Amino acid sequence: MKENSSTRQRDSNCPTALLFHLPPTPRSPGASREQPRPHSRSDMAAFTKLEDSPMFRKQVNSLEQITDELKQRCSNLHKGCKKFMGSLDEGYAGDLLFADALEAFGAGRDDPVSVAIGGPVMSKFTTAFRELGTYKELLRSQVEHMLSERLTQFINEDLHDAKDCRQRLDRATMGYDQAREKFVSVRKGTRAEVVTGLEEDLHNGKSAFERCRFNLVHALANIEAKKKYEFLESISAVMDAHLRYFKQGFELLSQMEPFIHQVLTYAQQSKEMAMNEQDKLAKRIQEFRTQEEISNLRMASNVNTSTSGDGIHVVGLQSYKKIEALMQSTANGQVEIIKQGYLFKRSENLRGEWKRRYFVLDSHGTLYYYGNKGNKQSEWHHSKLLNRLVYLVASDS
């Protein structure tokens, strides 16, 4: 029989028709020639004959077995859905915790430490992480509503209704069988009212049986109908929710892309400047150490030193006169540091312990030192230096 063009056009627009017109999947050489095929139209038909017969009961039993298997599959899918929702919950909580930690680290603060580490710049990133977290929470709620709740409803209502209808049918079948046996076993001569009662019981039993039978048929047909759209609709809705989730995140980050690149450029420039500063500092340290060594060598060759009874070197008179002359020549000018560094000192009574202190001698003739806590301590003017005996030991350590 030929098929007209309008029918072909209508079938080509039908998604189900497209499924059955797809080219066959290529088989591997070792694969079996037995391939799963779609159910025939008679297999998929919903109870073409409703009379109670062995064929009818076989179809009902077959659909009930499929329903039991479907219930197990739905339960497994629901468990996976719950785990997936749990991971989204953890991801949402993790996003918020990370945003809070970033904010506590310095994002959005204006104190010196926060400004130095880029806190004001990070505040925009903190807001973005919180926004991404809300997208994830929205995705979790959509998965719960579109898939988890629908699976729960399908298991607890549709599948449970079929199971409940089967139990009622079993009880109605037992009652109908008993009523039929009683009616068949009636003997001749039984009173008319007894026969009427048994006949009425048989009629009621048959009515209950038929009602329960058709309730089961309706429940199974409802499941068969929902199988064709319920799960595809739910999973497609979840995929659409994912699409919108990633689209929202992409749009948010796309808007921030110029700012992110600007921050990365600034960080790279700051890194190069810091490395240059580190190189300069290393050179200054090397130059300082070289000058210190040269100064120590010159001092060792030019300064006349003497050793006290305690084995402590005192400053030579010649060096002291040079310092005195420098202090007098710059008495009215800007204060300059003549010498500074760590020395050892002890109190005037010569009984205390030697203590390492940082001394500074300026061009006004003031000699002072700093304590352990960096506080400025005693000062001596140049007029008193000649009358004061200070034991000093140069130390580079």
Domain boundaries, the chain: 54-276, 331-394
In whole angstroms, give the CA distance from residue 130 to residue 120. 16
Q: What pLDDT does residue 119 have?
A: 86
Cα Rg of the chain (Å, integer): 49
Query: CB of 368 within 8 A of CB of 377?
Result: yes
How many helices and strands (H and E) does the chain possess? 12, 6
Q: What are 370's strand-pairing partners?
A: 358, 376
- Give backbone dihedrals phi and psi of 342, rounded to 5 degrees, phi first: -85, 135
pTM comes to: 0.61
- Quote the CA–CA distance of 387 and 60 in Å, as a whole number: 122
CA angle at 18 for the pair 14 and 19, rounded to the nearest 5°: 120
Strand partners, 337: 362
Cα–Cα distance measured from residue 150 to residue 143, given in angstroms and rounded to the nearest whole number: 10
* Residues contacting residue 373 through CB under 8 Å, at least 6 positions apart: none
Write out the two tokens for 245: 């989730």
Q: How far apart are CA 380 and CA 390, in angstroms?
A: 11
Cα angle value 318/324/330 (rounded, 5°): 140
H or E segment and range at residue 105: helix 54-105
Residue 98 confidence (pLDDT): 93
Q: How far apart are CA 271 and CA 280, in angstroms?
A: 14
Count of CB atoms situated within 10 Å of the CB of 105: 14
Cβ partners under 8 Å of residue 123, min gap 6 = 103, 107, 108
**What are the DSSP E strand ranges found in the chain?**
306-307, 313-314, 337-345, 355-362, 367-370, 376-380
The rounded distance, in Å, linking the Cα atoms of 236 and 143 is 11
The fold adopted by the segment(s) 54-276 is Substrate Binding Domain Of Dnak; Chain:A; Domain 2 (1.20.1270)
Give the pLDDT confidence score for residue 163 in this predicted structure. Answer: 94
- Specify whether the CB–CB gap between 201 and 183 falls below 8 A: yes
| Assigned token pair, 363 | 């061009």
Helix ranges (H only) for 146-229 are 149-153, 160-184, 192-227
Please give the chain's pLDDT, 397 residues, in tens. Answer: 344 444 444 444 444 333 333 344 444 444 444 444 444 444 445 677 888 889 989 999 999 999 999 999 999 999 999 999 999 999 999 999 999 999 988 877 788 888 888 888 888 999 999 999 999 999 999 999 999 999 999 999 999 999 999 999 999 999 999 999 988 888 888 888 988 999 999 999 999 999 999 999 999 999 999 999 999 999 999 999 999 999 999 999 999 999 999 999 999 999 999 999 999 999 999 998 898 888 888 777 765 444 444 444 444 555 556 556 665 666 556 677 778 888 887 776 666 778 888 888 877 777 888 876 667 766 655 444 434 434 443 344 3
Report the C-alpha gap between 5 and 195 in whole angstroms. 65
pLDDT computed for residue 53 by the predictor:
87
